[in-house]
């Protein structure tokens, strides 16, 4: 277990990660930008940082990336159409990013 992290929060993030790994990327979001955000890149950035947080504390660079991505997802969610379950997919990404940031903040205390 990672020092200073609640096991239940880490377990939750692990479960969310497993769910994410089994969720297909919404096909109509490939190659799409919404308000200047590349939707594939947003997914990849969040996924990479969340995976890093599962193996140890986030460094400041990844923490900043997650905060930027989290703000982007929050801003974009109302603009995402729900074709192929895209809204739920990006809500799931948002939840993982928020939990990874929370865990990182708890670790910094």
| Residue 3 pLDDT greater than 80, yes or no | no
Q: Taking the CB of residue 70, how many other CB atoms lie within 10 A of it?
A: 20
Q: Cα–Cα–Cα angle for 102, 89, 78, nearest 5°? A: 85
Residue 54 CB burial class (10 angstroms; 0-12, 13-18, ≥19): middle
Residue 4 binned pLDDT confidence (cut-offs 50, 70, 90): very low
Q: Taking the CB of residue 50, how many other CB atoms lie within 10 A of it?
A: 25
| Residue 13 pLDDT greater than 50, yes or no | yes
Q: Per-residue pLDDT tens for 19-51?
A: 999 999 999 999 999 999 999 999 999 999 999
pTM: 0.86
Q: Per-residue pLDDT tens for 48-90?
A: 999 999 988 889 999 999 999 999 999 999 999 888 899 999 9
């Amino acid at each position: 277990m990672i020092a200073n992290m609640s096991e239940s929060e880490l377990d939750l993030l692990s479960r969310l990660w497993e769910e994410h790994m089994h969720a297909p990327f919404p096909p109509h979001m490939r190659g799409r930008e919404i308000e200047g955000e590349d939707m594939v890149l947003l997914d990849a950035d969040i996924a990479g940082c969340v995976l890093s947080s599962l193996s140890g504390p986030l460094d400041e660079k990844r923490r900043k990336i997650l905060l930027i991505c989290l703000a982007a997802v929050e801003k974009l969610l109302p603009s995402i159409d729900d074709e192929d379950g895209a809204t739920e997919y990006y809500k799931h990404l948002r939840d993982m990013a928020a939990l990874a940031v929370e865990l990182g903040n708890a670790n910094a205390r």
